[in-house]
Structure 1
Amino acid sequence: MIIAIDIGGTKISAALMDNNEIIESKKTDSIIHHDLDNLASYVVHLCQDWIEKAHIVAVACTGQVGKHQVNFLSAKQALPLQQQLKAGFGLPVVILNDAAAAAWAEYCLGPKRQDSTLVYITVSTGIGGGIIQNGQLVTASDGFCAHIGHMSVNCPTALSVQCHCGRINCVEAISSGTSIARQASTILKTAVSCKNVFEQHLSHPEITTLLDQCADALVDLIANIKALTGTTVVVLGGSVGGASAFKERVAAKIAKLPMIYQVSLVSPITGEHADLIGAAMYAQTINGFNDGTQ
């Protein structure tokens, strides 16, 4: 069996899996932004009851997941997380970026496509992505690969938005759930979450304009990705990406792009467990249980 773990900025999910089937699952709050140094022991404790049943640990993790360390960009700190987890579990550990894991799950379990290319975008607390090119998950040894949330986009209304990565006008700084909540709070003159925005404030004219602008920025990113990869399909997931009020805007704007930039925008088929399933499937695919991400 496989212990699959999804380490995110707000929550950590874990499952004991037999092939691609979830046998048991758990969920808890993440500690990335207030106790990162103890992350490995926290995760091992969460999965303690499963260790004797498993032969490998598959981890989908937020951040820049490299061969020797994970750079948690939003926390501005890096950890040798894979080695820490190997020591804690006493098992081989395969680790990859969470959006890359979801992309792999979507590619493996979704309809087979002749071009063997797919791009997955998750719009949630941040914006992440995974790219399958010619049937291979695109990776890099330092982990800074397919981090499409940190691609700068054209957004006339966002003249100079500083992203936590250090660049200006990254799409994550404009269109992520965190950014939408921040901008909406300024508009409404009261603190609101992104969830509040979609549940209570869609009729507010300035919020409508805000969501249109955020969708514009994401569509600019999608057009750039189309030019880069040639993909005909973009899977749009995440709590914001999956919200109908947002996704419908994005789809309508894609339809207005020049034909060469248009893609089919589809919903994920793997649901809330995409990262867990993708990590487990990737661990089985590489079948070497090595010390790197591939």
Structure 2
Amino acid sequence: MIITIDVGGTKISAALIKGTKVIKVRKVDSIIHQDLANLASYLVNLCEGWAEQAFTVAVACTGLVGAERVNFLSANDSLPLKQQLEIGFGLPVVMLNDAAAAAWAEYTLRLDRTDNTLAYITVSTGVGGGIVQNGKLVMADDGFCAHIGHMSVSRPDLPVIECHCGRFNCVEALSSGTAIANQASSILNKGVSCKTVFNEHLSHPEIALLLEQATDSIVELIANIRALTGTRVVVLGGSVGSTNLFQERIKTKLKALPKIYHVELLAPVSGEHADLIGAALYAGSVIGCD
């Protein structure tokens, strides 16, 4: 079996996985923004009692997952997390970005696929993604690769918004759940979550316009990805991206693009444990067993 860990900014999940079957799951709050220095020991403790049942550890992690270090952009710090976990578990560790893990799950589990290139976009707290190009997961030694949420898009008639990465009009700064909540809070003159925006304020004219602008940015991102990778398949997931409202509006707007930019927009098939399953499948492919 494989110990699989999904390290997010808000939550951390761990599971024992055999093949694609989740045997056991544990979930805790994340400590990335409170106690990053002790993250490795926190993860080892979370998986107490599992090491003797597993042959490796697969980690899907937020941030820039490089060969030597993980750069946690939102925490403005980095860790040699792979090395720390190998010492803590006494097992080999395979690490990749969490959205890349979900992309690999989507690619691997779609047994009816006819194309070997696929792009995965998650619209949730942030905007992330992963790309499988010609059957291989696109990765880079420093971890800064396929971070499509930090691709900027054109919005000439609207105010410029700075992203936490330092650039302007990144899709994450325009269309993420955090961005929608921040902009809606300004419009409504009170603090609201993205979930509250969707549940209670869709009839507000300025909120409706905000969501149109957010979906416009995702559509432009998809067109850019299509031009860059040639993919004809895009999977749109995440707590925001998976909503019917987002999916249907984006599908409609994609049809209005020039035909060369048309893609098949699909909902995820990998379920709530996409990152965990994808990391396990990727580790199994790297090591050569499951």
TM bracket, shorter-chain basis: over 0.9
Unaligned runs of 5+ in 1: 290-294
Cα RMSD of the aligned pairs, angstroms, is 1.2
Identity of aligned residues (%): 66
Separation in structure 2 between the aligned mates of residue 113 and residue 18 of structure 1, nearest angstrom: 23
Separation in structure 2 between the aligned mates of residue 100 and residue 158 of structure 1, nearest angstrom: 31
* Distance apart, 1:112 and its partner CA: 4.1
Q: 2:264 maps to what in 1?
A: 264
Q: 1:158 to 1:56 in 2, by over 3 A?
A: farther
Q: 1:154 maps to what in 2?
A: 154
Q: 1:172 maps to what in 2?
A: 172
Separation in structure 2 between the aligned mates of residue 193 and residue 37 of structure 1, nearest angstrom: 29
How many residues are paired up?
289
Letter in 2 for 1:140: A
Q: Does 1:120 align with 2:120?
A: yes
Secondary structure in 2 matching 1:91: coil
* Distance apart, 1:111 and its partner CA: 3.5
CA contact (8 A) 1:158 1:174 kept: no
Secondary structure in 2 matching 1:272: helix
Q: 1:71 maps to what in 2?
A: 71
* Distance apart, 1:157 and its partner CA: 4.7
CA contact (8 A) 1:6 1:60 kept: yes
**Equivalent residues in 2 for 1:37-48 (5 A)?**
37-48=37-48
Separation in structure 1 between the aligned mates of residue 103 and residue 253 of structure 2, nearest angstrom: 23
**Equivalent residues in 2 for 1:103-114 (5 A)?**
103-114=103-114
CA contact (8 A) 1:117 1:132 kept: yes
Unaligned runs of 5+ in 2: none
TM-score w.r.t. length of structure 2: 0.97
* Distance apart, 1:49 and its partner CA: 2.0
Q: 1:183 maps to what in 2?
A: 183
* Distance apart, 1:158 and its partner CA: 4.0
Secondary structure in 2 matching 1:202: coil
CA contact (8 A) 1:155 1:216 kept: no
* Distance apart, 1:268 and its partner CA: 0.3
Secondary structure in 2 matching 1:74: helix
Secondary structure in 1 matching 2:115: coil
* Distance apart, 1:159 and its partner CA: 3.0
CA contact (8 A) 1:157 1:213 kept: no
Runs of 4+ in 1 over 6 A off after TM superposition: none
Separation in structure 1 between the aligned mates of residue 96 and residue 279 of structure 2, nearest angstrom: 7
TM-score w.r.t. length of structure 1: 0.96
Q: 2:139 maps to what in 1?
A: 139
* Distance apart, 1:204 and its partner CA: 1.3
CA contact (8 A) 1:99 1:128 kept: yes
Secondary structure in 1 matching 2:130: strand
Separation in structure 2 between the aligned mates of residue 7 and residue 16 of structure 1, nearest angstrom: 15
